[in-house]
Amino acid sequence: MKYVGTALAGKTMPLSPLAGEPIERADAERLAGVLKALADPARLRLLSLIQSAPEGEACVCDLTPPLGLSQPTVSHHLRILTEAGLLEREKHGVFAYYRLVPTAIATIADLLNPPRKRGARRTR
C-alpha distances (whole Å) from 112 to each of 12, 32, 42, 44 are 15, 12, 22, 17
Say what the pLDDT of residue 124 is.
56
Dump pLDDT digits (tens) for 6-46: 445 555 555 555 566 777 888 788 888 889 999 999 999 99
Dump pLDDT digits (tens) for 56-80: 999 999 999 999 999 999 999 999 9
Q: What is the dihedral of CA 71, 73, 76, 81, to 10 degrees?
A: -100
Say what the pLDDT of residue 65 is.
95
CATH class of 3-112: mainly alpha
Say what the pLDDT of residue 116 is.
64
Say what the pLDDT of residue 1 is.
35
Spell out the domain ranges in the chain. Answer: 3-112
Average pLDDT over residues 91-112: 86
pTM for the whole structure: 0.75
DSSP code for 11: E
